[in-house]
Chain A
């Protein structure tokens, strides 16, 4: 990458109090998002993907201790003063969450919610804010904007409300969109609509995106690069189009094999034994060692560092795929 990325996360670690004791919940996250690009952070529950997203906003829980660096256009987010953080969140990054209902005041109208962000945080006159919001609502597939703006959140379906949240995010004209499982609670046909809307809006604006998801296939379809997280560590990072077939970390490969396929009749479903660990539960060695089919002694004793095993990607694994010829036989 010749131009510096819009967002760079460098050896990020996060300690949080768990039952009163400081514990490491994120061990090591590395990723970069160039201006206008989309990166999907993929992981299961406890992987630390949402905490990583929150660290980008400087929105970590009280008592959190951050190591490493989160750089937005070269500026350190963990070192931002409270006042700078406020303007940063109001105008440079915007977030869309899994559950829009938890992030919108149920007692107030949709219009107030949308316009308020512009008038209070950015000083836009009310009439202009209203015009702008109406245009964005049309763009995200809400043609009858005037009627919708008079409605309250409970009158809208989940899919419509998520479009409202996307409109609110776009209205702030951010440079980076943070989308944390924005379609997980939606029907699959609605998910497609919402992802199409986000994609169109991003392309029209050159807007970069950090997309948090548990769905590898969705990640690969809508993003340029995919870092995969497991138990607080980015275990692999690679271009989205190389995910199928070129992933080299056993966790990434296992995750792909465990997803039911609607199209592939012959595909055998392979489950991963055990359960996903949280960052604070991991053993001394590799976080995935307890569940890995290729585990060896070294894996249990020494935590692997991210390395350049695949073309244009990295994997934090002592024995990344493809393995030696003797082992590929048993793997295939």
Chain B
């Protein structure tokens, strides 16, 4: 469904993403894990068409997008294939627009439907992400962070994308809400068949959404494999370090060599 080969991004002399290669099958779920500066978000933004790669190839459903800045028509076509959900849904929603209308607007943008069918589609999307009628009539500020993230996911799904990119989409949510969104994502895959590209700093969450994981450090892929293998038997020292720094029963924080030079 999504093929990424030798993807590269340079900002001046700085190599942000260095030879990243992976493929995401239809209905698959791949996680890219890394800390700040790992290049995970830049990788996602290139795939979504928000950054122009310095090198490499991205193919969605076998077709490579034309090089250069896409025109709005091409952008919408790409939007139908790839949609992205960000960490902070509040900044991407219009604060004067009821969230149900925001979802309807996204449906209208991507599908030319008669009013009755459009309303039905909006209701279906809201139901899919677990928002009720009262919440649909609310303004974004009346909703919690988790509910706003559901709105953002519903809007993204309006395009019926083949690939949904979630860029730290649960990072700002309360722990009890994160679990709800993870459960929602698992359900979305079975119900819509959308493939997921899950960008996160949180290795713990990966087990619950993805089959495959790519660990990135300083622009490079340091480990790539099935989630269970990578988490239970990490090969790269950096993956081990990431796993070891997550608090768990019996864990005591240790200094592991200072990165004091940054």
Q: Interface residues, chain A, CB within 8 Å of chain B?
A: 44-45, 141-144, 157-160, 187-193, 195-197, 199-200, 214-218, 220-222, 244, 254-255, 258-263, 265, 269-273, 275-276
Question: Contact check: which of B174, B246, B252 meets A45 at CB < 8 Å?
Answer: B174
Is there an interface contact between A157 and B179, defined as CB atoms closer than 8 Å? no
| Chain A residue at minimum C-beta to C-beta distance from B249 | A244
Is there an interface contact between B182 and A157, defined as CB atoms closer than 8 Å? no
Question: Contact check: which of A158, A189, A217 meets B247 at CB < 8 Å?
Answer: A217
Q: How far is the CA of A31 from the CA of B180 in the complex (A)?
A: 31
Show 21 A/B contacts (Cβ-Cβ < 8 Å), sorted by A.
A44-B174, A141-B258, A142-B260, A187-B201, A188-B35, A188-B202, A188-B245, A190-B35, A191-B253, A193-B258, A217-B248, A220-B247, A221-B247, A254-B176, A258-B175, A260-B206, A265-B228, A269-B208, A271-B179, A272-B179, A273-B180
> Contacts of B255 on A, CB cut-off 8 Å?
141, 193, 196-197, 200
Q: Does B203 contact A (CB under 8 A)?
A: yes
> Contacts of A196 on B, CB cut-off 8 Å?
253-255
Q: Does B53 contact A (CB under 8 A)?
A: no
Q: Does B114 contact A (CB under 8 A)?
A: no
The CB with the most chain B CB atoms within 10 A, among A44, A157, A158, A263, is that of: A263
Is there an interface contact between A189 and B262, defined as CB atoms closer than 8 Å? no
| Chain B residue at minimum C-beta to C-beta distance from A185 | B36
Q: Does B120 contact A (CB under 8 A)?
A: no
> Contacts of A276 on B, CB cut-off 8 Å?
174, 176-177
Q: How far is the CA of A254 from the CA of B176 in the complex (A)?
A: 8
Chain B contact residue count (CB 8 A cutoff): 45
Q: Does B218 contact A (CB under 8 A)?
A: no
B24 to chain A, nearest CB (A): 21
Is there an interface contact between B228 and A187, defined as CB atoms closer than 8 Å? no
Q: Given contacts A196-B254, A261-B204, A269-B182, are A218 and B174 in contact (CB under 8 A)?
A: no
Is there an interface contact between A260 and B202, defined as CB atoms closer than 8 Å? yes
> Contacts of A272 on B, CB cut-off 8 Å?
176, 179-180
Q: How far is the CA of A259 from the CA of B118 in the complex (A)?
A: 37
Q: How far is the CA of A144 from the CA of B243 in the complex (A)?
A: 29
A217 to chain B, nearest CB (A): 4
Q: Given contacts A189-B35, A272-B176, are A263 and B248 in contact (CB under 8 A)?
A: yes
> Contacts of A271 on B, CB cut-off 8 Å?
176-177, 179-180, 182-183
Q: Given contacts A44-B176, A187-B35, A265-B207, are A260 and B182 in contact (CB under 8 A)?
A: yes
Q: Return the CB mask of B227-258 against A: 1 if under 8 Å, else 0.
A: 01001100000000111111111011111101
What 8 pairs across the A-B complex have the smallest Cβ distances?
A: A271-B179, A260-B204, A187-B35, A195-B253, A258-B179, A272-B176, A192-B245, A217-B247
Q: Given contacts A192-B253, A271-B180, are A262 and B175 in contact (CB under 8 A)?
A: no
| Chain A residue at minimum C-beta to C-beta distance from B255 | A196
> Contacts of B145 on A, CB cut-off 8 Å?
45
> Contacts of B144 on A, CB cut-off 8 Å?
275
Q: How far is the CA of A265 from the CA of B206 in the complex (A)?
A: 11
Question: Contact check: which of A262, A269, A275 meets B147 at CB < 8 Å?
Answer: A275
> Contacts of B252 on A, CB cut-off 8 Å?
199, 221
